Chains A and B, each alone.
Chain A
Amino acid sequence: DAKTTQPPSMDCAEGRAANLPCNHSTISGNEYVYWYRQIHSQGPQYIIHGLKNNETNEMASLIITEDRKSSTLILPHATLRDTAVYYCIVRVGRGRGGSQGNLIFGKGTKLSVKP
């Protein structure tokens, strides 16, 4: 699975949009981009995923560049409860054996939402 690069930390003002970038320049055609977040020491929570089209759900929007080498997670109106570590992961879309389809986490981005 391709590796990802994220900034270690970001700040955002409450009520503003939080834009979290992720680089995945070695992504291959069958790899999805997934985002998770971890609040304090709780289990990570799935946010959103996409292959090549932009995606939106009730939690966030995911913008994937046309060349798929980077993506941005957007929290449109950040709240204090969005303070967490956000992980960007790329993951093979098929395959069962070996490491295909593994969930490999990096260190993520620590987002601090400030009043």
Chain B
Amino acid sequence: DADVTQTPRNRITKTGKRIMLECSQTKGHDRMYWYRQDPGLGLRLIYYSFDVKDINKGEISDGYSVSRQAQAKFSLSLESAIPNQTALYFCATSDPPGAFGAFFGQGTRLTVV
């Protein structure tokens, strides 16, 4: 089983629909992250959480919300999807800096039509 699992892997949704992307991890890490990646661009941080009660906005949080249901689960929601949210989304987990690097999921390819 993968250390970081994202569901769904692919999703097509309509403009205005609410959609949730889910992430679960088996690493026992406190820190979890959501990123989006657009073609030809690097990863941009949407939200991050350092523990269940600590959630913070990243570089591009507008139009997104998150929920940290447990140490192992971190969900990303698009309340009302729009076409420019079409992107590849990645979830990641990590120990505090100085330890090993972060682990990433395989990504969710989201298309908003």
Chain B: residues with Cβ within 8 Å of the partner, total of 33
* A107 touches B (CB below 8 Å): yes
- Report the bound CA distance from A99 to B42 in whole Å: 19
B-chain residues with CB within 8 Å of residue A51 when the two chains form the complex: 98
A-chain residues with CB within 8 Å of residue B96 when the two chains form the complex: 93-94, 96, 101
B-chain residues with CB within 8 Å of residue A34 when the two chains form the complex: 101
Q: In this complex, which of A87, A101, A103, A108 has the most chain B Cβ atoms within 10 angstroms of its Cβ?
A: A103
- A95-115 interface mask toward B, CB cutoff 8 Å, 1 = contact, 0 = none? 011110111111110000000
A-chain residues with CB within 8 Å of residue B107 when the two chains form the complex: 41-43
In the complex the two chains form, is A93's CB within 8 Å of B98's CB? Answer: yes
Interface magnitude class on chain A: 20 to 34
* A68 touches B (CB below 8 Å): no
Q: Pick the contact of A46 from B42, B59, B103 — CB < 8 Å? A: B103
- Report the bound CA distance from A45 to B102 in whole Å: 8
- Report the bound CA distance from A47 to B100 in whole Å: 10
A-chain residues with CB within 8 Å of residue B26 when the two chains form the complex: none
- Report the bound CA distance from A91 to B33 in whole Å: 14
Write 8 A-B pairs (CB below 8 A) sorted by A numbering.
A34-B101, A36-B101, A36-B102, A43-B90, A46-B100, A46-B101, A96-B54, A101-B31
